[in-house]
């Protein structure tokens, strides 16, 4: 069974080397919608694949870090990167271009690792990240599956190469969350007393 949770954020970028002149030469923004699709072959103690409320923790924090931020490819012009970091408190450096396709892949890699490092506590059974859909506009979106997220032909994404500004990190429920993720720390879902 599949479930999907929708998140929204506003973000600015330049997509270098793309066909659209405006997109490759000017900073511009989008109202993004990101769908996180989870799957499982069994339901938890609450008769759910995964409680939507649990997705309001670290998963939402990661996606919310992109809100009112500027994203840039770490291979872009050094002066441009410097200016992004100087004039925006909220920025994210990515090892790939900030296209809708790469947003979907970056979110997949981060959320997949978060789920792998999360100790389930309410009977969740082999919950897996199915895919990520990144809507850049009302009519255009990209959907990344597992084989896309880890496909080196689309650009390697290492968690350590996705860098969040200090301001983005400060606004997380746990400002050390990404540091803990990189270190392989365990995240714990709450233990729920059974009512039935």
Mean pLDDT of the chain: 97
Mapping DSSP onto H, E and C, the string for 146-187 reads HHHHCCHHHCCCCHHHCEECHHHHHCCCCCCHHHHHHHCCCE
**Residue 27 pLDDT greater than 90, yes or no:** yes
Q: How buried is 50 (Cβ within 10 angstroms: 0-12 exposed, 13-18 middle, 19+ buried)?
A: buried
- Residue-level pLDDT at 181: 98
The rounded distance, in Å, linking the Cα atoms of 182 and 95 is 16
For the range 10-13, what are the long-range contacts, defined as Cβ-Cβ under 8 Å and sequence gap of 24 or more?
10/67, 10/68, 11/66, 11/67, 11/68, 11/69, 11/70, 11/71, 11/98, 12/69, 12/70, 12/71, 13/70, 13/71, 13/72, 13/98
- Name the strand (E) or helix (H) holding 69: strand 69-73
The rounded distance, in Å, linking the Cα atoms of 88 and 66 is 12
- Residue-level pLDDT at 125: 87
The rounded distance, in Å, linking the Cα atoms of 84 and 72 is 8
| pLDDT tens string 40-77 | 999 999 999 999 999 999 999 999 999 999 999 999 99
Q: Find the largest Cα–Cα distance for the chain.
A: 61
| pLDDT tens string 124-147 | 989 999 999 999 999 999 999 999
The whole-model pTM stands at 0.97
- Using DSSP bridges, classify how beta strands 91-94 and 163-164 pair: parallel, antiparallel or unpaired: antiparallel
Residue % of the chain over a pLDDT of 90:
99
Catalytic positions, written as ranges: 23, 68, 136
């Amino acid at each position: 069974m599949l479930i999907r949770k929708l998140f929204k954020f506003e973000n600015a970028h330049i997509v270098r080397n793309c066909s659209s002149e405006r997109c490759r030469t000017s900073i511009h923004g989008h109202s993004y919608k990101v769908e996180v699709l989870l799957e499982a072959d069994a339901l938890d103690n609450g008769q759910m694949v995964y409680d939507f409320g649990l997705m309001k923790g670290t998963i939402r924090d990661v996606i919310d870090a992109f809100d009112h931020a500027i994203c840039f490819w770490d291979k872009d012009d050094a002066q441009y990167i410097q200016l992004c970091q100087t004039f925006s408190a909220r920025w994210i450096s990515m090892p790939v271009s900030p296209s809708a396709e790469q947003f979907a892949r970056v979110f997949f890699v981060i959320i997949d690792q978060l789920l792998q490092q999360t100790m389930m506590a309410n009977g969740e059974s082999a919950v897996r990240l199915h895919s990520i859909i990144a809507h850049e506009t009302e009519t255009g979106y990209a959907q990344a599956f597992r084989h896309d997220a880890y496909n080196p032909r689309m650009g390697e994404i290492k968690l350590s190469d996705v860098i969040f500004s200090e301001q983005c990190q400060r606004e997380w429920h746990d400002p050390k969350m990404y540091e803990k993720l990189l270190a392989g720390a365990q995240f714990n879902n709450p233990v729920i007393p059974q009512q039935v």
